[in-house]
Chain A
Amino acid sequence: MSAPAELLQGTLDLLILKTLALEPMHGWGIAQRIQQVSRDILQIQQGSLYPGLYRLERKKWIRAEWGASENNRRARFYTLTKAGRQQLEKELADWERMSTAVALIVQRT
């Protein structure tokens, strides 16, 4: 198995927002989910996850509240806000455009 890929600058926000679009989740869960869904290719630096969450919270794209975790411990759950959903759509569209453009150049023979 090849080494986990480095995250592109700025994609962390997109990944967090997309993950939270499914359901509210705590920090560790978000990290796990991203890793699983990407089939272990994307491994989030856990150290940069939390500052990222706090940044999104300050921008009011996500909301945090304390709740009980799956193993019945007190955990901080993050939920996507309405503004966050709009932001997600915007970033998805940006991502589409970006990746199409990159693909066009890379696949050119």
Chain B
Amino acid sequence: MKSWRLWFSRKKWEQQLDDELRFHIERQTAANIAAGLAPEEARRQAVLQLGAAEGVKEDCREQRRGFWLETVWADVRYGLRILRKVPGFTAVAILTLALGIGANTAIFSVVQGVVLAPLPYREPDRLVMVLESNERFPEDAISYPNFLDWQRTARSFEQMAAVTLHEGFDLSSPGTPEHLDGNRISAGYFSALGLNLSLGREFNPQEDRRGGAPVAIIGDRLWRERFGGSAQAVGRSVTLNGIGYTIVGVAPTGRGLLSQHENIYTPLGQGDPLILNARGGHDDMLSIARLKPGVSIAQAQAEMSAVQEHLDQLYPDADGGLGATVLPLKQQIVGDARGTLLLLLSAVGLVLLIACANVANLLLARSAARSREFAIRSALGAGRARIVRQLITESVLLSLAGGLLGLLIAKWSVNLVLAAVPESLPRAGNITVNASVLAFAFGISVAVGILFGLAPALKSSRIDLRASLNEGTRGSTGSHHRAQSVLVIVQVALTLVLLVSAGLLFRTIRRLWQINPGFDVEHVIAFKVGLSPSAAKSGSTLRTAFLQLLDRIRMIPGVQAADFSMLVPLTDDDNDTPFWIGADKPAVVQNAPRMLVFDTGPDYLRAMGIPLLRGRFFSHEDTTKSPCVAVIDNVFAQQYFAGKDPLGQTITFGWAASPWGPCQIVGVVGHVRHWGLGETGTGTLAQSYYPLYQARDALWPLGYPGIRIIVRTSLNVATIMPAIKSAVYGAGSDQTVYDVQTMRQIASESMSSQRFPMILLGAFAVLALLLASIGIYGVISYSVAQRAHEIGIRIALGAENRSIFRLVIGQGVRLALAGLAIGAAAALVLTRLLSGFSHLLYGVSTNDPLTFIAVSVVLAATAVLACYIPARRAMRVDPMVALRYE
């Protein structure tokens, strides 16, 4: 209807223009007759004086309002007609663009969901994380007493709340027993975040303290699975660790702060007093706060520094040397992922450039064929700008179609990307193809259409009219060919950069696997056990329950050794603790050297395959009734007992309030790689072992959710786990087995920060290789077609098949070699970025010759392969046909 009206008004407008010009010619004719010309001649002169009627009309039309839109519409219709006429070309171009745009859109949706999207809370820019800091750890977990003092004194914040990480809960009713990863939160946690519960209320201050009523807030999944999503869930009860908790609220799905799948919350103030009272402790607790309007992070930081300095003076024993640090919440949540994702986004951008080069090449080849069309248009009065605009319209049409198809590819490949995403990637649940992703895909399509369309359009619009109209002359093909070659060289260079990057990461992972981690990666399984609430009641019942459980597991055929540990290498768990040797207690414990503490059973060493270097490991005789013993690793021995014998020395460790020791060192074992196989970070290296059976009763209920059982077996997981599970269930049907992993899986997961970019870069590199080979194929084919005449003459003059073959392949290889040289130079510079990004590379230098040579060979071989078909075609050129061509 609307376009019809537009058409109608345009008709009328054209009619008026015609009338006006006709009137003009009549008057001029009359004037010419009056000047003495014959009527025929008078009219002819009048027409000549006005000028080319169509040109004048076109100039008038350009002044018309809406003219621009109309011509765009005309260009679009014309473009669609042209593209429909060459379905093969159109399909290849659209598919190429769809791959490029699709891959970019997929990666952008990851970047958008993880890095760009604001946190899903009210006014997220005002949210900060407040952490403790000391000399060694600029960002450290906080202690509850310090938090309470901050909360009471600090004026920069509207609200402040604390939360603990990795709080284990064993849920036993309603429904089947299950281990849950939960959090303890302080009162006002949700209102500080600015997150509304979907049902009920959050904890109040009366509940957030010791002796408060046992209440819980459950997550969306539990609510649906265990309570059928009913509003009556509030007021019902859940049994956690054997204690009944009344549900007061339900948290919405996918909006947890520390993980998207937060399951359950209980009041922080009801936590273990041992942790809550330890002012000097750093136990998996952090605080979040909402800045008052108008308060900057710098102002809050200044205030918090002063607040903490005051606390340092009040409690020099526990807090001496501590600081407080205020950080933007989002930056803390996104963390390292930002760098990796931006790296991937730029890599996939290169893929798009390669795709663009391909389509630009296709357009160049086509525009050579279309030069007569442009010549005719320009002879009819079309300006150069008009032709360029027509061509750009066509290329934008192509890229929009490619973008549309690319969206489908993106929607599908986002799922592939999500499968490769490591669990450690924050906010992964946030990744979807949403409105901003759509906007990105549209924007990138238009931009790309202009980008790859511009060069061919400018080139084709510069026409030598006579040459082009003169049939049989090949117009400007020479310069077209040069442009095509340049594009292919660029493609090869970009592909090499991608291949090198993927190759370096691949080599990194190979290197990491070759590292001896200090324990046996094969034949070892680790899992956790949720004991019956009756067994989990106290330290002594827990100790007995584990002893009995381990005995049952050791009796399973195929189990070679089994024991437990509170810390397992490469799991990213961390418990560094200050210590001192002998009676050397430092004045400020916060600044004391730190070590990792492995609380294990006597069989742990054998189960893990860690070598004993000196002295002895624990035995079942090391109990609460015998003197405290410790074992250290060889790195500890080198760092703190250089040149001395560590055996017989004593160490004491722990935070200020309740140090443990002194314990006598009875043995030295091999170092294990705890902070990743590369162990490149700044993590504490010194390691120590303590017999878990000697641990104080009070520590057991605290530490028990972290206990992993390590089983050494020659059988595979699938075979042995059912037997292990039935052994666990046999000791109590309400017990759970969870987090089952082989050590190989744990080791593999520790490399996820390298594997994720490697998989994606590898995929991009393969895509780039494919596109570049299509590019080479296209250019060589085109050149063979252009040179058919010359090749025919060569064959007629007696050139052998072999030399024709070599001629064509040689042309392709020359292009590839030029691309390789440029690409290698670019890769040398660009791969430095890789090494700068969050320790991605290990054990290979950015100019690793093996990688460069290997990928160059792959690329060159692909180029030769891409030339093969055109070369065969060249050999079959019939000299007679070629010679008759002109």
Residues of A at the B interface (CB closer than 8 Å) are 26-28, 32, 45-48, 50-51, 54-55, 57-58, 69, 71, 73-76
Q: CA–CA, A34 to B31, complex, Å?
A: 15
Are A73 and B26 in contact (CB-based, < 8 A)?
yes
Q: CA–CA, A19 to B55, complex, Å?
A: 25
B50 close to chain A: CB less than 8 A: yes
Are B52 and A47 in contact (CB-based, < 8 A)?
yes
Report chain A residues within 8 Å CB of B55. 47
B23 close to chain A: CB less than 8 A: yes
B56 close to chain A: CB less than 8 A: yes
B21 close to chain A: CB less than 8 A: yes
Report chain B residues within 8 Å CB of A51. 56, 59-60, 62-63
- Assuming the A-B contacts A50-B56, A76-B16, are A58 and B65 also in contact, with contact meaning beta carbons closer than 8 angstroms in the complex? yes
B166 close to chain A: CB less than 8 A: no
Are B19 and A54 in contact (CB-based, < 8 A)?
no
Which of A26, A28, A71 has most B Cβ within 10 Å?
A28
B28 close to chain A: CB less than 8 A: yes
Are A46 and B23 in contact (CB-based, < 8 A)?
no
Are B23 and A47 in contact (CB-based, < 8 A)?
no
Are A47 and B56 in contact (CB-based, < 8 A)?
yes
Report chain B residues within 8 Å CB of A45. 51
- Assuming the A-B contacts A73-B23, A74-B23, A76-B23, are A46 and B65 also in contact, with contact meaning beta carbons closer than 8 angstroms in the complex? no
Minimum distance in angstroms from A65 CB to a CB of chain B: 11
B20 close to chain A: CB less than 8 A: yes
Are A47 and B50 in contact (CB-based, < 8 A)?
yes
Q: Which of B53-112 contact A (CB under 8 A)?
A: 55-56, 59-60, 62-65
B49 close to chain A: CB less than 8 A: yes
- Assuming the A-B contacts A28-B27, A28-B28, A76-B16, are A50 and B21 also in contact, with contact meaning beta carbons closer than 8 angstroms in the complex? yes
Report chain B residues within 8 Å CB of A75. 20, 23
Report chain A residues within 8 Å CB of B26. 73
Q: CA–CA, A50 to B49, complex, Å?
A: 13
- Assuming the A-B contacts A76-B16, A76-B19, are A46 and B52 also in contact, with contact meaning beta carbons closer than 8 angstroms in the complex? no
Report chain A residues within 8 Å CB of B20. 27, 50, 75-76
Are A58 and B63 in contact (CB-based, < 8 A)?
yes
Minimum distance in angstroms from A60 CB to a CB of chain B: 11
Are B60 and A28 in contact (CB-based, < 8 A)?
no
Q: Which of B5-61 contact A (CB under 8 A)?
A: 16, 19-21, 23-24, 26-28, 30-31, 49-52, 55-56, 59-60
Minimum distance in angstroms from B29 CB to a CB of chain A: 11
Residues of B at the A interface (CB closer than 8 Å) are 16, 19-21, 23-24, 26-28, 30-31, 49-52, 55-56, 59-60, 62-65
Are A47 and B19 in contact (CB-based, < 8 A)?
no
Minimum distance in angstroms from A7 CB to a CB of chain B: 15
Report chain A residues within 8 Å CB of B19. 74, 76
Minimum distance in angstroms from B49 CB to a CB of chain A: 5
Minimum distance in angstroms from B738 CB to a CB of chain A: 75
- Assuming the A-B contacts A27-B24, A28-B24, A73-B26, are A46 and B49 also in contact, with contact meaning beta carbons closer than 8 angstroms in the complex? yes
> Pick the contact of A26 from B23, B52, B59, B63 — CB < 8 Å?
B23
- Please name 9 further chain A to chain B contacts, defined as beta carbons within 8 Å, in addition to the given A47-B50, A50-B21, A73-B23, sorted by A numbering: A27-B24, A28-B27, A45-B51, A46-B28, A50-B60, A51-B60, A57-B63, A58-B65, A71-B27
Q: CA–CA, A48 to B50, complex, Å?
A: 9
> Pick the contact of A54 from B31, B51, B63 — CB < 8 Å?
B63
22 examples of A-B residue contacts, CB within 8 angstroms: A27-B23, A28-B24, A45-B51, A46-B49, A47-B59, A48-B59, A50-B21, A50-B56, A51-B60, A51-B62, A51-B63, A54-B60, A54-B64, A55-B63, A57-B63, A71-B27, A71-B30, A73-B26, A74-B19, A75-B23, A76-B20, A76-B23
Report chain B residues within 8 Å CB of A32. 31
Minimum distance in angstroms from B337 CB to a CB of chain A: 54
Q: Closest 8 CB pairs between A and B?
A: A47-B51, A54-B63, A51-B59, A28-B27, A55-B63, A76-B20, A46-B50, A28-B24
> Pick the contact of B51 from A28, A46, A55, A74 — CB < 8 Å?
A46
Report chain A residues within 8 Å CB of B59. 47-48, 50-51
Minimum distance in angstroms from A42 CB to a CB of chain B: 15
Are B23 and A28 in contact (CB-based, < 8 A)?
yes
Report chain A residues within 8 Å CB of B21. 50
Q: CA–CA, A75 to B63, complex, Å?
A: 20
Report chain A residues within 8 Å CB of B28. 28, 46
Minimum distance in angstroms from A90 CB to a CB of chain B: 21
Q: CA–CA, A19 to B52, complex, Å?
A: 25
Report chain B residues within 8 Å CB of A48. 59
Report chain B residues within 8 Å CB of A46. 24, 28, 49-51
Minimum distance in angstroms from B870 CB to a CB of chain A: 51
Residue of A nearest to B50 (CB): A46
Report chain A residues within 8 Å CB of B50. 46-47
Q: CA–CA, A74 to B24, complex, Å?
A: 11
Report chain A residues within 8 Å CB of B62. 51
Q: CA–CA, A51 to B64, complex, Å?
A: 9
Report chain B residues within 8 Å CB of A57. 63
Minimum distance in angstroms from B697 CB to a CB of chain A: 91
Residue of B nearest to A55 (CB): B63
Residue of A nearest to B26 (CB): A73
Report chain B residues within 8 Å CB of A55. 63
Q: CA–CA, A46 to B50, complex, Å?
A: 5
Report chain B residues within 8 Å CB of A28. 23-24, 27-28
Q: CA–CA, A71 to B16, complex, Å?
A: 19
Report chain B residues within 8 Å CB of A71. 27, 30
Q: CA–CA, A108 to B19, complex, Å?
A: 51
Q: CA–CA, A45 to B49, complex, Å?
A: 8
Residue of B nearest to A51 (CB): B59
Report chain A residues within 8 Å CB of B64. 54, 58
